[in-house]
């Protein structure tokens, strides 16, 4: 892998997501040789992926070249690679570009989509964990509209104009809201041959309310906002099958659709090679202690979505979102510095900054401790927080400008079918994993 020898202890980080990047940035200037591995050459700001899917933003606004991080230090190396396995006894990682040894290994591989074993969904559905997947959804939505215009088959037209999103967590809610905005604001202008009422957005949720991780209050508000936008919400509804044409559920509801987006769950994305005892099997996540050390290993750590740190407050581990990942990354940087100085490690303590979700323009819901609010001000807070956490000054400014433009013009500027999805389904397979 051509990493030069160094007398400094080598930290290898697998994954440049929120956790891996937070750690890398903190260790850049410290006395470590740092090796960052990722299968993309960029960090993805996942909370805004749905805006790429719905033609509001281009990928460069929410992706950040990882070499722009590593360039700031001569002791830091980036390698574009897929890690295949770990041989912990030899402190060795195996990748498609060769092996690399480590003194400290940090696994920050995040999560992947959870199909709960339903093969029909995995085969025929779409999901949105990476930029290429988000772009595929963008192409599909626009291709469906173009196809609907020209088809004479009423049933086909209906299926093309039915958009089914499964899972009413923040991703599902935000995506449904954004597609509804597209229907309400862009379709009437762009597609005079389509009556916006023909286009239907269905949001399916297995639990009895939308945004299950949030407060009842925010949940109710989001429900109302979604209905105001014209999203059809189906609660207590579990998908049983999607054959590429028909969605079957555990209720009477059956929907014909060409667009089935699965956002109903994630599971850990571990690397092969560690002992079975390192894993919490059901969650597919590594069991870590309060120092993020993987169970059974001294020099292997896991942070972010892939780490399951049990505590009284979080018996099933922290929520698999950006904040715990960022905080664990920063915290581990401090602990690694302590470790090489043989100082006592400090336990991780999660500071919950709150949860939020946006539902179309002018509307969002925010839970911050006991404070819960929704509407225009929440939407404003949502925008501010997302701009704040976006990485890179340029990204912030381009995103900000695009938001203003889209807001004023009721427009979605990036409605370009660059890589047609339907004609190229194999791209998804080759390109990217779950």
> Is 416 one of the binding residues for a copy of itself (CB under 8 A)?
yes
Query: Could you tell me which stretch among 102-110, 148-156, 163-171, 367-375 binds a copy of itself (CB under 8 A)?
Result: 148-156
- Tokens 């381009």, residue located: 398
Query: Could you tell me which stretch among 189-197, 235-243, 317-325, 376-384 binds a copy of itself (CB under 8 A)?
Result: 189-197
Active site includes 174?
yes
Is residue 318 within 8 Å of residue 348, measured between CB atoms? no
Tokens standing for 199? 């286009």
304 torsion bin: left (phi>0), alpha (psi -120 to 50), beta (else): left
> Is 1 one of the binding residues for a copy of itself (CB under 8 A)?
yes
- Could you give the 3-state DSSP secondary structure of residue 372? strand
> Is 402 one of the binding residues for a copy of itself (CB under 8 A)?
yes
CA separation for the pair 137, 171 (Å, rounded) = 14
Q: Are strands 279-280 and 92-95 parallel, antiparallel or unpaired?
A: unpaired
CA separation for the pair 352, 373 (Å, rounded) = 16
Exposed e or buried b for every residue in 324-340, given b needs 16+ CB within 10 A? bbbbbbbbbbbbbeebe
CA separation for the pair 43, 67 (Å, rounded) = 10
Q: Which of 67, 94, 156, 334 binds a copy of itself (CB under 8 A)?
A: 67
> Is 430 one of the binding residues for a copy of itself (CB under 8 A)?
yes
**Distance of closest approach, residue 71 Cβ to a copy of itself, in angstroms:** 5
CA separation for the pair 138, 62 (Å, rounded) = 15
Identify the active-site residue in 58, 174, 181, 205: 174
Tokens standing for 139? 């192409």
Q: Which of 29, 87, 98, 244 binds a copy of itself (CB under 8 A)?
A: 98
Helix (H) or strand (E) holding 49: helix 49-53
Which of 151, 275 has the CB closer to a copy of itself? Answer: 151
> Is 97 one of the binding residues for a copy of itself (CB under 8 A)?
yes
Query: Could you tell me which stretch among 264-272, 292-300, 334-342, 412-420 binds a copy of itself (CB under 8 A)?
Result: 412-420
Q: Which of 89, 90, 117, 150 binds a copy of itself (CB under 8 A)?
A: 150
Footprint on this chain of a copy of itself (rule: CB under 8 A): 1-2, 40-42, 58-60, 63, 65, 67-68, 71, 74, 77, 79-81, 97-98, 131-132, 135, 142, 146, 149-152, 189-193, 394, 397-398, 401-402, 405, 413-420, 423-424, 426-427, 430-431
Catalytic (active-site) positions: 174
């Amino acid at each position: 892998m051509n990493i030069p020898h160094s007398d400094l202890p080598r930290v290898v980080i697998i994954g440049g997501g929120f956790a891996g990047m937070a750690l890398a940035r903190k260790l850049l200037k410290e006395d470590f040789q740092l090796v960052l591995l990722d299968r993309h050459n960029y960090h993805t700001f996942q909370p805004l992926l749905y805006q790429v899917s719905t033609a509001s933003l281009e990928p460069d606004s929410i992706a950040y070249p990882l070499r722009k991080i590593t360039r700031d230090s001569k002791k830091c190396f980036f390698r574009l690679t897929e890690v295949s396995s770990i041989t912990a006894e030899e402190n060795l990682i195996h990748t498609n570009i060769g092996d690399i040894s480590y003194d400290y290994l940090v696994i920050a591989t995040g999560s992947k989509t959870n199909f709960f074993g339903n093969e029909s969904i995995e085969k025929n559905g779409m999901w949105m964990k990476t930029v290429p997947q988000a772009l595929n959804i963008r192409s599909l939505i626009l291709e469906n509209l173009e196809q609907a215009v020209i088809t004479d088959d009423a049933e086909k037209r209906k299926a093309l104009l039915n958009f089914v999103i499964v899972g009413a967590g923040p991703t599902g809610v935000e995506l449904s809201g954004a597609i509804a905005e597209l229907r309400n604001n862009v379709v009437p202008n762009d597609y005079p041959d389509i009556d916006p009422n023909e286009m239907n957005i269905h949001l399916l949720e297995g639990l009895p309310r939308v945004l299950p991780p949030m407060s009842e209050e925010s949940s109710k508000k989001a429900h109302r906002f979604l209905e105001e936008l014209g999203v059809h919400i189906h609660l207590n509804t579990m998908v049983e099958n999607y054959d590429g044409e028909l969605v079957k559920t555990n209720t009477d509801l059956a929907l014909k659709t060409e667009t089935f987006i699965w956002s109903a769950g994630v599971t850990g994305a571990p690397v092969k090679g560690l002992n079975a005892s390192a894993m919490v099997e059901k969650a597919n996540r590594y069991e870590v202690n309060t120092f993020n050390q993987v169970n059974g290993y001294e020099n292997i750590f896991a942070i972010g979505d892939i780490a399951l740190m049990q505590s009284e407050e979080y018996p099933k581990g922290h929520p698999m979102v950006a904040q715990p990942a960022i905080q664990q990354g920063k915290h581990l940087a401090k602990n690694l510095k302590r470790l090489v100085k043989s100082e006592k490690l400090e336990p991780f303590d999660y500071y919950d900054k709150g949860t939020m979700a946006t539902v179309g323009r002018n509307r969002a819901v925010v839970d911050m401790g006991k404070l819960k609010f929704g509407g225009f001000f929440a939407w404003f807070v949502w925008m501010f927080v997302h701009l704040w956490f976006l990485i890179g000054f340029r990204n912030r400014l381009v995103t900000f400008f695009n938001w203003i433009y889209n807001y004023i013009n009721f427009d979605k500027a990036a409605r370009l079918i660059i890589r047609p999805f339907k004609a190229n389904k194999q791209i998804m397979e080759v390109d990217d994993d779950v």
